[in-house]
Amino acid sequence: MEWLQQLINGISLGSIYALIALGYTMVYGIIKLINFAHGEIFMIGAFIGYFTIAGWGLGFLPALLISMVSCAIIGVIIERVAYKRLRNTTRIAALITAIGVSLLIQNGVIYMRGAQPVAYPSDFANKTFNLFGAQISSQSLLILTVSVTLMIILQFIVHKTKIGKAMRAVSYDADAARLMGINVDNTISATFAIGSALAGAAGVIFGIYYTKIDPLMGVIPGLKAFVAAVLGGIGIIPGAMVGGLVLGVVETIVSALGFSLWRDAAAFVILILILILKPSGIFGKNTREKV
């Protein structure tokens, strides 16, 4: 049952990508910005979880919650300081700013603690379970449980709460939402907070899964999560979830077939194919745009 084990591993990896991709797709859906600093929020979340477990001696769940809250605050600060004044400028200006914020965070963390990687502490024993002949680790089950729970909570927030309705309204037409009394600035900040919190959670479970973190760890997962968002249809929340899972499974299959050196390339091959064959993504729809 090797295929079942690889499928579980792929879903576990894909769920991490999905959590990061949700931040990309939510921000793009609201203000049409690709926040390339999002991978660094993921990295900061991993380090906050590391210091919470190793430095304060707390368990996984407190580390997860502290990391999510801290990353939410950092995400709002980045939005207010770096992006808010650029909403009415060209998209390229905001994109360059996002890249600049990404480099600033990377080098800021390297300046404060150095570039050397650290081993991620684990506060629980990694056991294996036999499922139809496949050996499934407790870490994979933990990642899957946390990811699915957070995705369900996100769906509830977006579809059943007042802030979720405001986010959907601003995404559809920000000017009309403002005329209806919705505070657009607060709604955008809330979007950054939720997306950054999910990235922080992804950082913690990534550290537990791969047991090593470093200040540059957000670059490749961040780019892959962007690919996942485009694959599912950027701006569409279910699309980001499905895109992340598909990408994780494809990477795992590529590695299982003996092409582990090509696993990173597989994500970008998928990006090229989806841009050629269906630029709007799996869940996206082609829309006419007046020029």
Rounded distance between C-alpha atoms, residue 28 and residue 149, angstroms: 23
Residue 124 lies in a domain: yes
Residue 239 lies in a domain: no
Residue 74 lies in a domain: yes
Rounded distance between C-alpha atoms, residue 176 and residue 170, angstroms: 8
Long-range contacts of 179-185 (CB under 8 A, 24+ apart): 185/84
Residue 105 lies in a domain: yes
* Contact call for residues 12 and 126 (beta carbons, < 8 A): no
pLDDT for residue 120? 85
* Mean per-residue pLDDT, 20-30: 89
Rounded distance between C-alpha atoms, residue 235 and residue 223, angstroms: 16
The H or E element that residue 236 is part of is none
pLDDT for residue 209? 84
| pLDDT reading at 48 higher than 80 | yes
Biggest distance spanned by C-alpha atoms of the chain:
59
* Contact call for residues 138 and 129 (beta carbons, < 8 A): yes
Instruction: Give tens-digit pLDDT for 201-246.
Output: 999 999 988 888 999 998 988 989 999 998 888 888 888 899 999 9
Partners of residue 278 on adjacent β-strands: none
Residue 251 lies in a domain: no
Residue 188 pLDDT level (bands cut at 50, 70, 90)? very high
DSSP string, 73-134: HHHHHHIIIIIGGGTTS-HHHHHHHHHHHHHHHHHHHHHHH-S--EEPP-SS---EEEETTE
Residue 181 lies in a domain: yes
pLDDT for residue 196? 94
| pLDDT reading at 65 higher than 90 | yes
| pLDDT reading at 200 higher than 80 | yes
DSSP, collapsed to helix, strand or coil, labels residue 278 as coil
Residue 230 lies in a domain: no
Say what percent of the chain tops pLDDT 90.
38
Domain count, the chain: 1
Q: Kindly state the tokens that stand for 140.
A: 């994979």
Residue 50 lies in a domain: yes
* Closest CA relative to residue 163, chosen from 151, 154, 152: 154
The domain of 173 spans 12-218
Task: Give residue 1's Cα distance to chain centre.
Answer: 30
Q: Kindly state the tokens that stand for 108.
A: 């800021």
The Cβ-side half-sphere exposure at 256, using a 13 Å CA radius, reads 16
Residue 133 pLDDT level (bands cut at 50, 70, 90)? low
78 vs 125: which has the higher pLDDT: 78
- Length reported for the chain: 291
Residue 144 pLDDT level (bands cut at 50, 70, 90)? confident
Partners of residue 135 on adjacent β-strands: 130
**Which residues lie below 8 Å from residue 112, measured CB to CB, with a gap of 6+?**
none
In our burial notation (b when 16+ CB lie closer than 10 A, e otherwise), range 149-159 reads: ebbeebeeebe
